[in-house]
Amino acid sequence: MALGPIIRSMFGRHEAAVANLYRSIFIDLDAYIAQVVKWVPAPRRILEVGAGEGAVTERLARAFPLAEIVAIDITPRVGRLYKGRQERVTFLQKTVQDMAVEQPGGFDFVILSDVIHHVPTALRSAIIAALRGCLASDGLLVFKDWAEDRTVIHWLCKTSDVYLTGDDVSYLDAPKLEALIETGFGAKTIVDRATIAPWRNNFAMLVRG
């Protein structure tokens, strides 16, 4: 059973602030979005896959006020803590496979953040293929995940993921993450790489569709 929703409910109106503080132990989301802006300065139509409760969405909406943002997740709680602008931002309970069928090539920018380690291994290739299916010709994907290594912070991250989400999480190291992307997008489609503060485990790639 996932403990995260139970623990979060204890904080009441302070839930969002506590969630942001806890998340900052593992990633600086503002630094992440700053990197995204360097890579993709002026997207018109953004698909955020695995948006969760809206933390990254909120920052994307501030960074790209003129862009349309569609934020999806399989959870019915999608966008629950979002406090950003409402116009041109839509939250949907959908899979990326749904979006690839319903809006093929519909987005010039797709972003997936810290999702793939929650996805069962057998389904990962299908997720990558669907990400590509959502991209317009010559569109850009930012793919970010927590890369596996033998450090205390990785152990802490994995432990929190397992107990707070209840998922059977499985991480890949950076070379395996790159190989996964190239399996779906093709060789030499990764055009840049970055690590995001405060830990080198925050491994991000810019991929051309």
* pLDDT score at 160: 83
How many domains does one find in the chain?
A: 1
Q: Which CATH number does the domain housing residue 64 bear?
A: 3.40.50.150
Residues of the chain with pLDDT under 70: 1-15, 18
Beta bridge mates, 146 = 202
* pLDDT score at 180: 97
* pLDDT score at 1: 45
Instruction: Return d(Cα 33, Cα 75) in angstroms, integer.
Output: 23
86's tokens: 């409402």
Handedness of CA 30, 126, 52, 49 (dihedral sign): positive
- Strand 68-73 with 107-113, pairing: unpaired
Residues 100-159 pLDDT 10s:
999 999 999 999 999 999 999 999 999 999 999 999 999 999 999 999 999 999 999 998
* pLDDT score at 8: 53
Closest by CA position to 82, among listed 90, 2, 74:
90
List the domain range (segments joined by +) for residue 128. 4-208
Instruction: Return d(Cα 72, Cα 64) in angstroms, integer.
Output: 18
24's tokens: 């900052």
Closest by CA position to 40, among listed 110, 129, 128:
110
* pLDDT score at 19: 74
Closest by CA position to 144, among listed 5, 28, 2, 4:
28
